[in-house]
Every structure is written in C-alpha cells, then in structure tokens.
Amino acid sequence: MMRGFQIRGLLFVAMLLLTVPVKAEDKPIVLGYYPSYEKFSIDDIPFERLTHICHAFVTSDPEGVLEPNRLAPDRRLTAAASKHGVPVILSIGGWGDADGFEAATSSPEKMAAWTDTAVEMMHSNGYLGLDVDWEFPRDESTRDRFTALVLQLREKLEALTAKTGDHYLVTSAVTARPTEAKWIDGPAMESAIDFLNVMTYDFAGPWSKVAAHHSSLQHHAGDPIPWRSTADAMEYWHKTQGFPKSKLVVGVPLYGRQMPVRTPLASLEGKPKSGFSTPFYRDFVKLKDAGWTEITAADGSPFLVAPEGEVGLISYDSPSSASRTGAWARENNYRGIFFWGIGQDCVEPGVFPVMNAAIDGFHDKSEE
C-alpha cells in the first residue's frame, strides 16, 4: 500500500513541478555547516566569507515526529546571519537519524505531519530553506520514500512562496559512495532540489580495510577502492545520477581521520577501534608541537604521522590541498564548495586557514 502511495504522490508532485519551476540562481555557493552542538560561538562565525549556512541538526523521535531541541532551531543564528545577508537553511537528520526518517515516511499521514512541522519550524524561526540529511536510504522502499519526502517538501514550500513571495531552498547532504548512493533516485528528485551538498569526505575510517585518505581530490594509485576520490564522487552525481553541475556542491572537511598505522594504504585489518579518532584541524598545532610531521602523497593529499616510536596517521585537508579542491571545483564548473563544520579549523579567533584557502582557491584569488 505504501508503494502505491509513493508512486501516485510522485506523479502528482512531478506534474506540479512542471508548472511551478524551482528557482535556481547561478551565483556560486560557499556554504558552511554549523554544528551548534560543538558550541562554536555564533558571534565567531565568518559570515562575510559564506553565501549560505546549514544549521545542524533537528531530528525525529522514534515515532517519526520532528522535534526541536535546545540548540536548533535558533533565532539568534538566523538573525545574526540576516544582518550579513546570509540565508540559513535548517538541516534535518544527520548520522544516526535514519530510523527517524523511516518512521516519518512510514505512512502518508505521518509524512504529511512531518513535512508540515518542518515547514512551520523553518518559517517561524527565520530560516530560508530545509536541508534533508537522510543517512542513508538503504533499499527500494526507503529510496522511494526519500524521493516522496523531498517532493512533498518542495510542494509545501512553493505554497508558502505563493503567500510570502520568498523562494525557499530544498537541499540535501548526500553520500559520496556509490554503494549507498544507488538508493537515491536522482532523476526523480532533481527538479525539486536547489542543490546537493556531496559529502566528499569520510572515504576511509574504522570501517575501511586500508588507511586511505578520507578526502582525497584524486584517486590514489594502489587504492583498491576505485571510487574513493572527490573527482570520482562528483562525476558519479553528475553523470550517473543526472544532476547538473549547477546543482552540485563539493565538500571540504575541516577535520581529519586518525588511524592506528604509520603508512598510507597500510592494512587496517584487526586494528583496535581505540586507535581511530576524528581530530579537528585546530588541534593539529598541538600535534605538530608534539612531534607529528606532515607527509604528502603523490597526488598532493596530506597526512600527519606520529613521532618515531608511536603509531598514528591522520588524513586531512591542509590549506594547500583545500585550495586545490576549491580551484578544481571552479575549473570543473561545479556550483560551489561547502564545509563541515564551521569552527573546526579556527586556530585562533578570526583565523580559519583551511576554509579561507578553499574559498580563495574557488574564487581564484591568485588572479586578483
């Protein structure tokens, strides 16, 4: 019965979207995710360097009811961003909320209540869009329910636009891994999406067999996983999933992935989970003072290696590699770049080395 509801709903909303087109501006995007639970002050956000902010996260309870929390939504954030002309998008979901999405889309009634709540929560708190971060649809049923959810959000936001005159964004943070992305129906939802934030990071971690770089721009020679690079991930979303480059935004992480080895591509089989962590770039100053040294792979991807006699390898984006990624996104005509998460590379007040380097690369500051 749910399947029939999905198909009828998709056909209806698809017809609606043919008559009410999504407004897609051509301006480049420089977006930062603001994970407010990390307690980086709103006052310290570099609004002047960003075109958009995604506020993470609001989640659903086990029954699929969307619930606010003490950190989101937050009118202080939307008010501060508004003073700088930066729209804030309310991000819903995130890692660990897949069950909430599945519950919320388990019936037409629950989905309708969820989308009503999402739109009201967004509009009443000064946000200008909704970012759907379902990690991850896992089969045909959740694929179709994800599509129906996005289309229904677009339908209700268009109805709100008719009342207010404002355009409200529908975006989504999507996986870079084809093994997971196959359960997203790009062609069915593309018309409803303003842009996708492709999570071109977390290519490697505790789940991996070898210590690959977690956000490499190009594929590493010798890496057994053929899709593990930003270039390959973006090509997948453009060519396989059918999204135009004007709707694709490239991810740049401001954190690293630490693994309990000393050599890139070394085996991770049998390594203790305690040897894995996700340090922020702002922590690297202390690590370098403690004797960690930087090495660079043949493709330019940086790693930090623990001092002699210790075990530890961190893959990350440096200012140099982030600048290359920003420049690559521009040269390959992608819509923009985004960061996870704001504040993680703040080495001192007002100083964001990785973020600024990526933005300068994207805007080609070398030619100014």
Query: Could you read off the pLDDT of 341-362 as tens digits, one per residue?
Result: 999 999 999 999 999 999 999 9
Q: E strand or H helix at 328, and its extent? A: helix 319-331
User: pLDDT tier at 365 (50, 70, 90 boundaries)?
Assistant: confident
Q: 243 is written with which tokens?
A: 């999204």
Q: How far apart are CA 363 and CA 368, in angstroms?
A: 9
pTM for this entry = 0.93
**Is pLDDT of 17 > 50?**
no
**Is pLDDT of 220 > 90?**
no
DSSP E strand stretches across 66-144: 66-67, 88-93, 129-133
Q: Does the domain at residues 2-254+318-367 carry the CATH identifier 3.20.20.80?
A: yes
Please name every residue paired with 54 in a beta bridge, in sequence order, or none if there are none.
33, 89
In contact, 218 and 299? CB cutoff 8 Å: yes
Q: DSSP for 149-188?
A: HHHHHHHHHHHHHHHH----EEEEEEES-HHHHTTS-HHH
Of the chain, the percentage scoring pLDDT greater than 70 comes to: 92
**Is pLDDT of 8 > 90?**
no
Amino acid at site 258 = Q
Query: Could you read off the pLDDT of 316-325 as tens digits, one per residue?
Result: 999 999 999 9
Give which of 132, 253, 241, 130 is closest to 199, Cα–Cα.
Answer: 253
Q: How far apart are CA 356 and CA 354, in angstroms?
A: 6
Query: Could you read off the pLDDT of 138-194 as tens digits, one per residue?
Result: 999 999 999 999 999 999 999 999 999 999 999 999 999 999 999 999 999 999 999
**Is pLDDT of 56 > 60?**
yes
